[in-house]
Amino acid sequence: MYRIILTRLAQGLLTLLLASIIVFGATEILPGDVAEAILGQSRTEEALAALREEMGLNRPAIERYFDWLGGLLRGDLGTSLATDRPVADMIESRMWNTLRLALLAAAISVPLSLAFGLWSAMRAGGRVDKTLAMTTLALIAVPEFFIGLILMKVFAVELKWLSASANTRPYFDFWQNFRALALPVATLSFAVLAHMMRMTRSSVINIFTSPYMEMAALKGLPKRRLVIRHALPNALSPILTVIALNLSYMVSGVIIVETVFGVPGLTRLLVDAVTLRDIPLIQACAMIFGTVYILLNLLADVLSIMANPRLRYPK
Partner 1 sequence: MTDVLTIKNLHVEGRPPGGDYVPIVKGVSLNVRKGEVLALIGESGSGKSTISLAAMGFARPGCRISRGEVWLNGRDIMALPPHDRHALRGDEVSYVAQSAAASFNPALRIGRQVIEAPLWHGAGDAATLTAAAVELYRKLDLPSPETVGEKFPHQVSGGQLQRLMAAMAMSCGPDLLILDEPTTALDVTTQIEVLKAFRDIIRDQGTAAIYVTHDLAVVAQVADRILVLKNGETVEEGPTDQILHAPRHDYTRTLMAAVRPAPHLVDHIDPAAAQAPVISVRNVTAGYGALTILSDVSVDVPAASVVGVIGESGCGKSTLARVVAGLTPLREGTVILDGEPAAPAVRDRPRAALKDCQIVFQMADTALNPRQRIGDILGRPLDFYKGLKGRERPRGWRSFWNSSICRASSRRGFPASCRAGRSSASTWPARSRRTPRSSSATRSPRRSTPSSPPG
Partner 2 sequence: MSDVSDHGAPRASVFAGLRLTWTAGLAGAILLFWLVLALFGPWIAPHGEAEIISGTTFAPIGEGGLLGTDKLGRDVFSRLIYGVRTTMLLALITTLISFAFGVTLGFAAAILKGWFDVVISRIVEAFMAFPSTLLALVVIGAFGTSITVLVLTVGLVLSTGVFRVSRALGYDIGVMDFVEAARARGEGTWWILTREILPNSMAPLIAEFGLRFTFSILFLSGLSFLGLGVQEPAADWGLMVQENVGGLFLGSSAALIPAACIASLTVSMNLLVDWFQQRQQGETVLEKIDQ
Which residues of the chain form contacts with partner 2 (CB under 8 A)?
15-16, 18-19, 21-23, 26-27, 29-31, 121-122, 124-125, 133-134, 137-138, 140-146, 149-150, 152-153, 157, 164, 205, 208-209, 213-214, 217, 223, 226-227, 248-249, 251-252, 255-256, 259-260, 270-271, 273-275, 277, 279, 282, 286, 289-290, 293-294, 297
Other CB atoms within a 10 A radius of the CB of residue 83 amount to 13
Q: Which does 233 bind (CB under 5 to 8 A by kind): partner 1, partner 2, none?
A: partner 1
- Answer yes or no: are the C-beta atoms of 209 and 194 closer than 8 Å: no
Bridge partners (DSSP) of residue 79 are 86
Task: Verify binding: residue 315, partner 1, rule CB under 8 A.
Answer: yes
Collapsed DSSP state (helix, strand, coil) of residue 209: coil
Q: Which is nearer to partner 2, 240 or 251 (CB)?
A: 251
How many angstroms separate the CA atoms of 268 and 293, rounded?
A: 18
Q: Which is nearer to partner 2, 20 or 189 (CB)?
A: 20
Site string for partner 1, 213-232 (x = CB under 8 A): xxxxxxxxxx--x---xx--
Q: Which is nearer to partner 2, 25 or 50 (CB)?
A: 25
How many angstroms separate the CA atoms of 296 and 292, rounded?
A: 6
Bridge partners (DSSP) of residue 86 are 79
How many angstroms separate the CA atoms of 288 and 247, rounded?
A: 14
Q: Which is nearer to partner 2, 113 or 148 (CB)?
A: 148
- Residue 134 C-beta: closest distance to partner 2, Å: 7
* One-letter-per-residue 3-state SS of 258-300: HHHCCCCCHHHHHHHHHHHCCHHHHHHHHHHHHHHHHHHHHHH
- Residue 61 C-beta: closest distance to partner 1, Å: 39
- Residue 288 C-beta: closest distance to partner 2, Å: 10
Q: Look up residue 26 and give its amino acid.
A: A
What is the per-residue DSSP string for 82-115?
TT-SBHHHHHHHHHHHHHHHHHHHHHHHHHHHHH
- Residue 85 C-beta: closest distance to partner 1, Å: 53
Task: Verify binding: residue 310, partner 1, rule CB under 8 A.
Answer: yes
DSSP for residue 213: H
Considering only residues 138, 210, 272, 306, which one is a binding residue for partner 1 as defined by CB under 8 A?
Answer: 210
Q: Which is nearer to partner 1, 85 or 312 (CB)?
A: 312
Query: Which stretch in 24-32, 133-141, 210-218, 257-265 sits in contact with partner 1 by CB under 8 A?
Result: 210-218
Of the candidates 166, 251, 245, 249, the one whose C-alpha atom is nearest the C-alpha of residue 199 is 245
Other CB atoms within a 10 A radius of the CB of residue 12 amount to 18
- Provide the binding-site residues for partner 1, judged by CB under 8 A: 210-222, 225, 229-230, 233-234, 309-310, 313, 315
